[in-house]
Amino acid sequence: MSTIVLDPLRIWADVWQHRYLLGQLIKRDVLLRYRGAMFGVAWIFLSPLFMLVIFAFVFGQIFQARWPQQGSNMPFWLLLYSGLITFNIFAETVARAPAAVRGYPSYVKKIIFPLHILPVVPLGAALVHGTFNFLILLVALAVIGKLHGQVVLFPLLLLPALLLGLGLSWFVAAWGVFIKDMTQIVPMFVQMLMFMSPVFYPVSAVPAALQPVYHYNPLSAVIEASRAAVTGQPIAWGAWGITLVLCLGGAMMGYAFFQHSREEFADVL
């Protein structure tokens, strides 16, 4: 039976020592997604650009929407876009996790292959797309004259969401080997979570009776903090720090569960 590991430094070392192989798998994953497309990998940039333009037109021109209890003059569509960047990195990581191991049965049967890096691949691919989304956000902020120096904290503030997504990816990838329905269940759960997170609205706009529920959602603190970095408003470092510790614990538990279950993967696949 595999030893359960709850040491974050050892977990990091286990992933880091296979960084070259992990990088190649992430590169392959991203390139395969756009293979055969007329514009190829240019869609990494074009897709979020088109999405931002549509947001600006629909919410800025047609609906002329305003952020609930808005404390800044930032356009609604940019506040929405910044929240989606944070959530989409998490969502892409977790939604693709059920097939992270099941989709590569030949790797499972190779005794020396480091299976624990397979659930990290969706996170790496999500970060590639998230990076281009962030660059487009910076350009948009500069164009409208709302670029704040505090926005450089945006990538750092994503750390709890990355840890949570990675922990769930390890957990879901392991369950995905045994339960094929996970490929249908998890994306549905992620979609529901998007509407239960402050992506389209701030937590302050939620009725007071329901706000405690949102505080139990780790993504709430991350989305609110990253959005504050975009608008130049004060960041709730206390809530963010607590969320970071909890998400680190979740990542360690997910890794331990994956390592504990991996011995049975070959028998199932």
Instruction: Judge whether 243 and 221 are in contact, CB under 8 Å.
Output: yes
**Which of the four pLDDT bands, split at 50, 70 and 90, describes residue 5?**
low
- Per-residue pLDDT at 37: 76
DSSP string, the chain: -PPP---HHHHHHHHHTTHHHHHHHHHHHHHHHTTT-TTGGGHHHHHHHHHHHHHIIIIIIIS----TT--S---HHHHHHHHHHHHHHHHHHHHTTTHHHHT-HHHHT-TTS-GGGTTHHHHHHHHHHHHHHHHHHHHHHHHTT---GGGGGHHHHTHHHHHHHHHHHHHHHHHHHH-TTHHHHHHHHHHHHHHTTTTSS-GGGS-TTTHHHHHT-HHHHHHHHHHHHHHTPPP-HHHHHHHHHHHHHHHHHHHHHHHHHGGGHHHH-
Taking CA atoms, 48 is separated from 42, 43, 44, 88, in Å, by 11, 8, 7, 11
Q: What is the pLDDT of residue 1?
A: 46
Cβ atoms of 98 and 172 within 8 Å: the answer is: yes
What is the C-alpha to C-alpha distance for residues 202 and 199, in angstroms, rounded to an integer? 7
Q: What is the pTM of this model?
A: 0.92
Q: Is the dihedral of CA 179, 180, 184, 186 positive or negative?
A: positive
Reported as a single tens digit per residue, the pLDDT across 41-100 is: 889 989 999 999 998 898 888 887 788 766 567 899 999 999 999 999 999 999 999 999
The percent of residues in the chain predicted with pLDDT above 70, rounded, is: 96
Q: Where are the domains of the chain?
A: 8-268
| pLDDT score of 214 | 87
Which pLDDT tens digit goes with each residue over 191-243? 999 999 999 999 888 888 888 888 899 999 999 999 999 999 999 999 999 99
